[in-house]
Amino acid sequence: MTEALSLRAECAEDAAFVESLFIAQRAAVFATLALAPEALATLLHGQFLAQAADYRRRFPQAERSIVELAGQPIGRLVVQREVQRWRLVDIALLPDCCGRGLGGTVLTKLLAAADAAGVALTACVACDNPARRLYVRLGFRESRAETVYLELWRPPRSRD
């Protein structure tokens, strides 16, 4: 199935998908607030706009890609490529696509590209995020904890 997995540049037409992806990932957490559906939708929309603005401010040169499976959008990848390192800003998959090895495939390809460029890859992940195990399995090291987030990095591997 992973052979049908691909990345393409994110474009303006993807805005609705990117927002729906954000909401799909966070709806369960925010549902615990027991808000009326309209209030929950407003809150999630505001959170999405805040994240988008933060990413534009902090990572203005980031490459934004849509992850597709068999031509259908299933996720998003945001990477800031710098001279000395690349930063994995965001990787997100629709909940139904999680736990199937797809995120690992995307990360493995990104790591191979970073290795080819001779740069480290860094990421930030919530300390309680189950994906943390995947990062460790792929060779990331924990560099420091900041509040509820953990900084991770993986040095480039030689291409011998």
Summarised one tens digit per residue, pLDDT across range 52-76 is 999 999 999 999 999 999 999 999 9
Exposure letters 8-21 (e unless 16+ CB within 10 A, then b): eebeeebeebbbeb
At 93, is the pLDDT very low, low, confident or very high (cuts 50, 70, 90)?
very high
pLDDT for 160: 56
Rg (the chain; Cα; Å): 16
pLDDT for 14: 98
H helices present in the chain, as ranges: 15-31, 37-58, 102-117, 132-137
Summarised one tens digit per residue, pLDDT across range 121-138 is 999 998 888 888 899 999
pLDDT for 31: 78
Summarised one tens digit per residue, pLDDT across range 36-56 is 989 999 999 999 999 999 999
Which residues lie below 8 Å from residue 108, measured CB to CB, with a gap of 6+? 138
Fold of 2-154: Aminopeptidase (3.40.630)
Q: Are 142 and 150 in contact (CB under 8 A)?
A: yes
